[in-house]
Amino acid sequence: MVQPQPERPTPASAALGAESDLPAEGEALLARAPVEAVPEEALARALRLARSVDHPLLSRVVATRGGPEFQALNNALMDTYRVHGSLEAFSLLFELNTRPFSVIANRIVRMTGSRADIGDILQETFLAIYRYPSRFCPDKPCAFRNWSYSIIRNTVYRHLQLAAREGIPVDFVTEILPDDRADTPSDATELAESDRQCERVYGLLLCLYMDIYERDLKPRDRLALQLVEVDRLGYREAAQKLGIRLENFKMIVCRARKKIFQSLVRTLGTRPS
Is residue 197 very low, low, confident or very high in pLDDT (cuts 50, 70, 90)?
A: low
pTM listed for this prediction: 0.52
75 and 202 together in one domain: no
pLDDT at 11: 28
Q: How confident is the model at residue 53 (pLDDT cuts 50, 70, 90)?
A: very high
Range of the domain at 79: 1-183
For residues 97 and 152, membership in a common domain is answered with: yes
- Output the pLDDT for position 243: 92
**50 and 98 inside one domain:** yes
pLDDT the model gives residue 196 = 60
Highest mean pLDDT among 130-134, 172-176, 195-199: 130-134
Q: Which of 120-124, 146-150, 178-182 has the lowest mean pLDDT?
A: 178-182
pLDDT, residue 120, reads: 87
How many other C-beta atoms are found inside a 10 Å radius of the C-beta of residue 103? Answer: 14
Per-residue pLDDT, averaged over 69-97, amounts to: 93
Residues 6+ apart with CB under 8 A from 168: 115, 160
How far apart CA 215 and CA 113 sit, in angstroms, is 43
Better-predicted residue by pLDDT, 133 or 164: 133
Whether 117 and 47 map to the same domain: the answer is: yes
More confident residue, 175 or 247: 247
Per-residue model confidence (pLDDT) at position 163? 72
- Judged by average pLDDT, the poorest of 79-83, 90-94, 179-183 is 179-183
Q: Do 177 and 221 reside in the same domain of the chain?
A: no
Quote the CA–CA distance of 253 and 240 in Å, as a whole number. Answer: 14
Please tell me what DSSP assigns to residue 177: S
If asked whether residues 221 and 156 sit together in one domain, one would say: no
Asked whether residue 52 carries a pLDDT value surpassing 80, the answer given is: yes
- Residue 5 makes CB contacts below 8 A (sequence gap 6+) with 35, 36, 37
Q: Assess whether 137 and 269 both reside in one domain.
A: no
Does 135 score more than 70 pLDDT? yes
* 31 torsion bin: left (phi>0), alpha (psi -120 to 50), beta (else): alpha
Percentages helix, strand, coil for the chain (3-state, rounded to 5) are 70, 0, 30
Min mean pLDDT across 78-82, 152-156, 163-167, 234-238 is at: 163-167
What is the mean predicted confidence (pLDDT) over 22-50?
Answer: 70
**Are both 168 and 212 inside the same structural domain?**
no
The CATH number assigned to the domain holding 266 equals 1.10.10.10
Q: What is the pLDDT of residue 187?
A: 61
Q: Looking at 183, 214, 243, which one is the last position of a domain?
A: 183
CA distance 22 to 179: 6
Query: According to the model, what pLDDT value does residue 10 have?
Result: 32
Instruction: Say whether both 55 and 150 belong to one domain.
Output: yes
131, 153, 183 — which closes off a domain? 183
| Mean pLDDT taken over the chain | 77
Q: Residue 74 pLDDT more than 90?
A: yes
DSSP string computed for 254-268: HHHHHHHHHHHHHHH
User: Where among 143, 163, 183 does a domain terminate?
Assistant: 183
How many domains does the chain contain in total? 2
Q: Across residues 118-139, what is the average pLDDT?
A: 90
- Whether the per-residue pLDDT at 39 is higher than 50: the answer is yes
CA distance 33 to 177: 13
Query: Are residues 196 and 176 part of one domain?
Result: no
Same domain for 212 and 145?
no
Rounded Cα distance, 46 and 63, in Å = 10
Note whether 40 and 172 are same-domain residues: yes
Task: Determine the average pLDDT of the residues in 213-234.
Answer: 87
Mean pLDDT value across residues 172-181 = 47
Q: Determine the residue type at 39.
A: P
